[in-house]
Amino acid sequence: MHTSHSNKKKSLCKTCSKSPSIFFCQGCHKDFCNDHAKEHRQELSKQLDNIIQEHDNLQQNLFESMDKSRTYPFMKDIDQWETESIEKIRQIADDIRAKVLDIVDNRTVRITKGLKNLTKDLTKARFENNFIEYDLKDWMDKLNKWNKYLNSMPSISIVHDEKDTISIQKININMERNEFFHRVAGNIKIEEHGQVIIANSNDLSTVRCVGEYSSGQHKFRFKIEQFSTNNWICFGIVSKDAPIQETSYLVLTSFGWIANGWILLDGTSQPGDNKIKSDIIQDDIVELFVDCDQRILRLINERTKIQQQLDINIETCPFPWQLHVGLRYQNDRVRYLKS
């Protein structure tokens, strides 16, 4: 805030509407008299205190999450399996532990780095007492983002790899993430905390999910709650680093299917096999199976049992992968079904 200087008639204080204003707040664009300017500044300080408290709470939750991440119950199963199998599976067990900790630690490092930068901003704001409403909103938005990211930690379980040739069954990691629709290009509305998308116009639009996948096997189910007779809806994966755009099927790293029977390969759409041509209709549930280890993408219609599979070119679609869904016609609606 700064002192108002003008030869014109002074405006009245926004709070009391009586005393002439002598301060103008650049954050809320309001005038205040001397007494209410102090009150306004005190209120901003209280809001900063609340944000700092939220910041401290999130940081404490992060520390607790870091402690819990190394005591997952399934770690005991890994240890028992390792003991029974002795030397044959010792190296496999070490590799699995490394994968688990890498998944958790990568998330922890990302949140810690974000909180570290935010800590600097909040400390500087408290020391210099130089901030406005815009800064408070920005800090609160960042806290909400990292809090949401922390709460979307994946649940991890063990699955047996029956294809392995060793005499003892190999184990692997199966992660079920708290997936949700996240980023939009075009005219799509996201509802119900990221579980539902709705097309708002007859234009090509794309939404990406928040999860990132570089290893393991993952299953995702979607319900087509509203579907026009034009049979255009797209399911697939794309490299995270590829720019998001309305025409998702033209992205170079795009692999997947369009409901009219076409397939997406390296950002080009091609006619699919007529024998397994997609026949998706309204109320169908489709499963997208992503196998990062074998680099395979599979689409399954639960009603018709029709399956379609693509081999992913890791050169054109590098890790990490993200799910993406494309809509084209107004009011088409898709729901992500939680596991």
Instruction: Give yes or no: residues 189 and 169 share one domain.
Output: no
For the chain, how many structural domains are there in total?
A: 2
295 shares its domain with 310: yes
Residue 149 shares a structural domain with residue 213: no
pLDDT attached to residue 174? 64
Tell me whether residue 18 is in a domain: no
Residue 73 pLDDT greater than 60, yes or no: yes
Report the pLDDT value the prediction gives residue 287, as an integer from 0 to 100: 95
Domain assignment present for residue 289? The answer is yes
In the structure, what pLDDT confidence band is assigned to residue 2 with cuts at 50, 70 and 90? low
The pLDDT tens digits of the residues spanning 274-328 come to: 544 557 889 999 999 999 999 999 999 999 999 999 999 999 999 999 999 999 9
Are 208 and 170 in a shared domain? no
Q: Is residue 148 part of a domain?
A: yes
Burial degree of 187 (CB within 10 A; 0-12, 13-18, 19+): middle
Note whether 118 and 138 are same-domain residues: yes
Mean pLDDT of 31-51: 94
Query: Do 207 and 311 have their domain in common?
Result: yes
Residues 233, 258 contacting (CB under 8 angstroms): yes
Residues 125, 155 within the same domain: yes
Q: Which residues contact 246 (CB under 8 A, 6 or more apart)?
A: 185, 186, 203, 204, 205, 206
> What is the Cα–Cα distance from 175 to 158, expressed in whole angstroms?
8
Q: Give the tens place of pLDDT for each residue, 173-203.
A: 666 668 899 999 999 999 998 999 999 999 9
Sequence-distant (6+) residues with CB within 8 A of 142 are 114, 118
Sheet with 205-209, strands from edge to edge, namely 181-185, 205-209, 321-327, 233-239, 255-258, 262-265, 268-271
331 shares a domain with 185: yes
Domain that holds residue 60: 54-174
- The CATH code of the domain that includes 315 is 2.60.120.920
Contact of 186 with 228, CB cutoff 8 Å: no
- For residue 177, what pLDDT is reported? 64
Q: How confident is the model at residue 82 (pLDDT cuts 50, 70, 90)?
A: confident
**pTM, rounded to two decimals:** 0.54
**What does the pLDDT average to over 224-234?**
88
The per-residue pLDDT for 6 is 44
Q: What is the DSSP string of 106-175?
A: HHHHHHHHHHHHHHHHHHHHHHHT---HHHHHHHHHHHHHHHHHHHTPPEEEEEEETT--SSSPEEEEEE
103-112, 215-224, 317-326: the lowest-pLDDT one: 103-112
Mean pLDDT of 114-138: 91
Closest CA to 138 of 114, 154, 156, 158: 114
Could you tell me if residue 48 is inside a domain? no
Whether residue 34 has pLDDT greater than 60: yes
Q: How far apart are CA 78 and CA 100, in angstroms?
A: 11
Of 174, 209, 244, the domain-final residue:
174
Structure tokens, 104: 């958790």
Please check whether residue 37 lies inside any domain of the structure.
Answer: no
Average pLDDT over every residue of 13-27: 89
Q: Measure the CA–CA gap between 196 and 327, rounded to whole angstroms.
A: 12
Instruction: Write out the E strands in 148-303.
Output: 155-161, 170-176, 181-185, 188-191, 196-199, 205-209, 217-226, 233-239, 255-258, 262-265, 268-271, 285-291, 296-301
Q: Is 155 in the same domain as 279? A: no
Whether residues 135 and 202 share a domain: the answer is no
Give every strand in the sheet of 2-3, ordered side by side: 2-3, 23-25, 30-32
pLDDT at 275: 44
Among candidate residues 130, 154, 174, the one where a domain is terminated = 174
| Claim to verify: residue 211 and residue 159 sit in the same structural domain | no
Residues 314 and 193 in one domain: yes
Token pair for residue 301? 């219609």
In the listed set 174, 196, 231, which residue is the last one of a domain according to the structure? Answer: 174
In a domain, 246, yes or no: yes
Q: Return the pLDDT at 273.
A: 62
Angle CA 292–327–302, to nearest 5:
55
Q: Is 71 contained in some domain?
A: yes
Per the domain annotation, does 151 fall within a domain?
A: yes
Closest CA to 334 of 285, 261, 263, 262: 285
Tell me the pLDDT band of 104, cut-offs 50, 70 and 90. confident
Cβ–Cβ under 8 Å, residues 163 and 191: no
- Confidence bin at 268 (pLDDT 50/70/90): confident
